[in-house]
Amino acid sequence: MVLAKFMTPYSELTITEMMNILNLEQGPASAKESMKDICLHSKSQNIQKKGMEYLYMYGFIRELELLIQKNLESDNPSNRLWGEIYRIMLEQRVFKISPMETLDQLAFFRSRYSTNEPELLFLIELIQERAYQHLNQFDKIGNLMVTHQQYFSEIEERLLVVYFKIRLYQINVVYHIMRNELIMARKYAYRALNMLDSPQLHAHVHTYLGLSYTHDTYESGIYHLDKALEISKEHHLDYMINILENHNIPFLSAHFNMVEDVCTVDKGEQAHIELAKGNNEKAIDILSNIPKKGPFQLYYLGKAKQDQGLLMKSYNHFIRKRSDYFFSKLPLDAMKEL
């Protein structure tokens, strides 16, 4: 077996070294598949741990689930800790658990276990910041941009540092978009795209890029959202397909009044589409059946009713509850048009 030299439990090669060798011997495409097999079948406990990051970054979800279970059942305490962290992280990524459940599981992990492994300490903070992002508590993200170097300087596996940097760039993209710092956001987005040929990464980053053009042009924004959807369909990223088809694409399309053949199961975006068509009363009717309205629904309702009070309520929600200085421009611009 060609890969047998990488499979021994005592192999001294790191994942970084293996990847470099395989790229030279096989080329990038074949090397990616070979590394997937090595991560899944290696007897090395070190590779079993760190291989989870490789599988995560390239979106090999089924293989990652198997490797997580292998680590959880390991006789090595460190492997079990890594397995637990990647279990939480994977369930967070595919929305199997809510952001609050994610934070609760992290709190339980911290209360039950202790670790000084820099990789795990970084990932715990990363999972936490992603949970705050999903909760739209954007004022609570950004700390890792300051603290990451203390972890990176202690990590010996250089490929992990590269992957962790890409993960950090994804956080930076969201952070800067919400602060309305679009040049910085797009810089980090393209930096991430150029660092790794990973379908799930490219789908996520193109989604962020698409939304970053909300206040610019439809053509620029929809290009990136369509690209994200194309990648997601090609690689069966079902959770991304749902987000794009039912939320992001309808949102951007309705915002620019380009709603022909656009549909969604999301009630808020259904109202947004009706608003774009000029059917204000229908939009109001749909929104009236949403009991707990978020800032977007308040914005749509304020536009439909031409109600400055609702638009101000939406604006305050964006600013005070989300620290969102990007989408808060929506109700602000609408108020200027009244």
User: Which pLDDT belongs to residue 12?
Assistant: 72
d(CA 261, CA 119): 46
User: Which pLDDT belongs to residue 265?
Assistant: 98
Prediction pTM value: 0.91
- Alpha helices by DSSP H, listed for the chain, are 15-26, 28-41, 45-58, 61-72, 77-93, 99-112, 118-134, 143-152, 158-178, 182-195, 199-211, 218-234, 238-243, 249-255, 267-276, 280-288, 295-305, 308-316, 322, 329-337
d(CA 263, CA 178): 27
pLDDT along the chain (338 residues), means of 10: 51 83 87 92 93 95 97 98 98 94 97 96 96 93 88 94 96 96 98 95 97 98 98 94 97 98 97 98 97 97 98 97 96 95
d(CA 207, CA 200): 11
User: Which pLDDT belongs to residue 314?
Assistant: 98
User: Which pLDDT belongs to residue 10?
Assistant: 42
User: Which pLDDT belongs to residue 216?
Assistant: 97
What are the C-alpha distances in Å from 63 to residues 51, 66, 124, 194?
10, 5, 22, 25
- The dihedral built from the CA positions of residue 140, 102, 120 and 161, taken in this order, carries a sign that is negative
d(CA 295, CA 291): 13
User: Which pLDDT belongs to residue 270?
Assistant: 98
Query: Domain coordinates of the chain in residue numbers?
Result: 198-265, 271-338
